[in-house]
């Protein structure tokens, strides 16, 4: 038997379902979160970063899982200065194209810029480029949500 809200929806009546956002620490003094500045991190591809080493292929080139981890690190660096005490962010969505290969020894610059913010949700535009050639290696979007770290972890067990 459907619940009362489902029955009301099936009948065509409007139903108001209260939604309560979980409480998270506010930015100090109740101020709005400051504008996020872009974050850029530079890495050098090592043997440990290759597709062969991370299990995503057999070639000695930058593996997509490692590239994704680097892009996520840039999003964390972008949002980190604006987080309240006790807050962190978790990745919830990734849409990235790995466009070109990078050999061992290549210097890769990854950048994250805030593209959209709505309360706890932050969407970032991310990119990676070879610092020598300037070639774009990856581009896309990563979404993160700000959470209370202790509360988040308490729900795992």
- State pTM to two decimals: 0.79
Residue 87 phi/psi, 5° resolution? Answer: -100, 155
In a domain, 20, yes or no: no
In a domain, 90, yes or no: yes
- Per-residue model confidence as pLDDT tens digits over 115-132: 999 999 999 999 999 999
In a domain, 9, yes or no: no
- 91 close to 142: Cβ distance less than 8 angstroms: yes
Provide the number of structural domains found in the chain: 1
What is the domain range of residue 139? 33-154
- Per-residue model confidence as pLDDT tens digits over 1-16: 444 444 444 444 444 4
In a domain, 145, yes or no: yes
In a domain, 132, yes or no: yes
In a domain, 14, yes or no: no
CATH number assigned to the domain comprising residue 98: 3.10.129.10
């Amino acid at each position: 038997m459907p619940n009362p809200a489902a029955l009301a929806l099936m009948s065509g009546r409007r139903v108001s379902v209260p939604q309560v956002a979980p409480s998270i620490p506010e930015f100090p003094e109740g101020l709005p979160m400051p504008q996020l500045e872009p974050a850029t991190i530079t890495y050098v591809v090592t043997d440990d970063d290759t597709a062969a080493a991370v299990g995503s292929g057999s070639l000695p080139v930058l593996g997509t899982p490692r590239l994704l981890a680097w892009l996520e690190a840039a999003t964390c660096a972008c949002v980190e200065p604006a987080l309240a005490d006790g807050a962190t962010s978790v990745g919830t969505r990734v849409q990235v194209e790995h466009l070109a290969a990078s050999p061992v020894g290549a210097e890769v610059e990854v950048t994250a810029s805030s593209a959209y913010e709505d309360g706890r949700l932050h969407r970032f535009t991310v990119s990676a480029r070879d610092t020598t050639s300037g070639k774009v290696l990856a581009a896309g979007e990563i979404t993160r949500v700000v959470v209370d770290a202790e509360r988040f972890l308490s729900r795992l067990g």
